[in-house]
Amino acid sequence: MSKKRYPIVFCGAGPGDPELITVKGQRALQRAELVLYTGSLVPESVLTWASQGAERISSAALALDQIVAILVRAHEAGRRVVRLHTGDPSVYGAISEQIDALERHAVPYTIIPGVTAAFAAAASMGIEFTLPEKTQTLIISRMSGRTPVPASESLASLARHKASMAIYLSAALASQVAVVLADAFGPDAPCAVAYKVSHPQERMIMTRIADLAQTLQQAGIDRHAMILVGPAVGRLRDGKMARSRLYDSGFSHGYRPA
């Protein structure tokens, strides 16, 4: 009888709080015999959902070929494997290259989504990224650095939309980010720094774009942080907003007459 084999489960761990993993992700961890996790980002507290007998391997010091080799061997041995990524694996998760390699080895996989840090930050700050009549768009991007960004998606070109923006992986480049954002939103526009969102060390710092680099330097933050800017953050300072039509008593829709 051939050995039963299970697909590799790519799972979003959420932003850090172990209770922000999905129920489906929690159950996958409880069943896992091997958890290969991004040790530089996934906190140990999330791993408490795994069974005591599960093998845990951090991928922080591993190269792609080493990661793939572990996944393929475990799959062929008939083990249940969870590849645990921080946040949601579709956002800066580097899963495409892992999936390509698994497909070349004919290893099946499934993906369980997770809560990305931008949404946890919005919840912590009490903001809505899509404000009526202000912006209906959220842009998730990053500053070009060691990992290049396509010219058509430069932060400067995206910032010109003046939509809500969540800028990942760019805290170390705060001076450059500030120059770009000041040109689009103005140097006096408010912005927020969300550090280690949902972790016990979480810090939410409000500042002006002109003071962004200095604020990060004084706080000693150069990683594990995102920069938020746009109308949603501006509302925290000016308190002004338009109401949506969804709950307007004078607006008819399929479930309620005016």
Q: Are residues 65 and 104 in the same domain?
A: yes
Residue tagged 């996934």 (tokens): 42
Q: Note whether 59 and 33 are same-domain residues.
A: yes
Beta bridge partners of 203: 195
For 110-128, what is the mean pLDDT?
96
139 shares its domain with 215: yes
Q: State which of 49, 83, 112 marks the end of a domain.
A: 112
Of the candidates 63, 62, 82, which has an alpha carbon nearest to the alpha carbon of residue 8?
Answer: 82
Same domain assignment for residues 180 and 137? yes
Examine the fold and report which residue of 87, 112, 137 is the final residue of a domain before the chain moves on: 112
The answer to whether residues 91 and 128 belong to one domain is no
One domain, residues 107 and 124: no
Q: Is residue 249 part of a domain?
A: no
Q: Which residues contact 49 (CB under 8 A, 6 or more apart)?
A: 18, 21, 25, 26, 29, 30
Residue 1 domain-assigned (yes or no): no
Q: Are residues 126 and 98 in the same domain?
A: no
Q: Do the domain assignments include residue 251?
A: no
Number of domains in the chain: 2
Q: How confident is the model at residue 256 (pLDDT cuts 50, 70, 90)?
A: very low
pLDDT given at position 235 = 74
Average pLDDT over residues 155-175: 97
Q: What is the pLDDT of residues 1-53, one digit of tens each?
A: 567 999 999 999 999 999 999 999 999 999 999 999 999 899 999 999 999 99
Verify that 138 and 232 share a domain, yes or no: yes
Quickly count helices (H) and strands (E) in the chain: 8, 10
Question: 88 in a domain, yes or no?
Answer: yes
Give burial (CB, 10 Å; 0-12/13-18/19+) of 201: exposed
Integer Cα distance of 225 and 171 in angstroms = 6
The answer to the question of residue 215 being in a domain is yes
Give the residue from 64, 96, 112 where a domain finishes: 112
160 in the same domain as 134: yes
Say if pTM beats, i.e. exceeds, 0.85: yes
pLDDT higher than threshold 90 for residue 66: yes
Residues 96, 70, single domain; the answer is yes
- Mean pLDDT over 98-115 rounds to 98
How many angstroms separate the CA atoms of 112 and 11, rounded? 5
Q: Residue 75's domain spans which residues?
A: 8-112
Residues in the chain, overall count: 258
CATH number at residue 96: 3.40.1010.10
What CATH number is associated with residue 190?
3.30.950.10
Ordered strands of the 164-168 beta sheet: 138-142, 164-168, 225-229, 190-195, 203-208
Chain-wide mean pLDDT for the chain? 92
